[in-house]
Structure 1
């Protein structure tokens, strides 16, 4: 499912226009991004939680040449699925 399909599904499920669904989704994504950018955490009970973790600098290897390279430290987003989401995904 891509963003357009998600907007269509939200609009249909909520009984709102596609424009309103798009605005709501973009607001959600913007707020998630801003919160994570500030180092915060977002938890949606039953669905999951997003957090930011620091990945340390490390040595890597260029697979073509075998030469060692330095990989810079960076922040990464982590998502942990909630129990309801895991149950839904694992139900046959």
Structure 2
């Protein structure tokens, strides 16, 4: 599903205009990315949490030459799905409002 398709679904389910739905998706993505980049966690009950994880630097081998190379430490974004989200994917069913409210 693309961002535009997601906006169309949001539009159909909420009655918002397509432009408003796209604006909400863009703002939500920016807010989550900015907060996680600062080291924060964003928790959405019934869906999951977005956070960052620090990976330490380490020694590795270049796959092309086989020579050792140093990989510097870095921070990566992580998404941890909620139990309801995992169950919905496992059981191939839509995540309903009851699932979201059960974890609040």
Look up the match of 1:37. 37
* TM-score normalised over the length of structure 2: 0.84
Quote how far apart the aligned CAs of 1:11 are.
1.1
Alpha-carbon distance between aligned partners in 2 of 1:59 and 1:74, rounded to the nearest angstrom? 14
1:23-57 deviation per Cα after TM superposition (whole angstroms, max 9, x unaligned): 10011001001101111001011110011111100
- Unaligned runs of 5+ residues in structure 1 are none
How many residues get paired? Answer: 92
- Unaligned runs of 5+ residues in structure 2 are 93-104
Alpha-carbon distance between aligned partners in 2 of 1:61 and 1:3, rounded to the nearest angstrom? 37
Structure 1 segments of 4 or more deviating over 2 A? none
Look up the match of 1:8. 8
Look up the match of 1:84. 84
Alpha-carbon distance between aligned partners in 2 of 1:8 and 1:61, rounded to the nearest angstrom? 46
- SS of match in other structure, 1:59: strand
Look up the match of 1:72. 72
Alpha-carbon distance between aligned partners in 1 of 2:12 and 2:67, rounded to the nearest angstrom? 53
Quote how far apart the aligned CAs of 1:70 are.
0.6
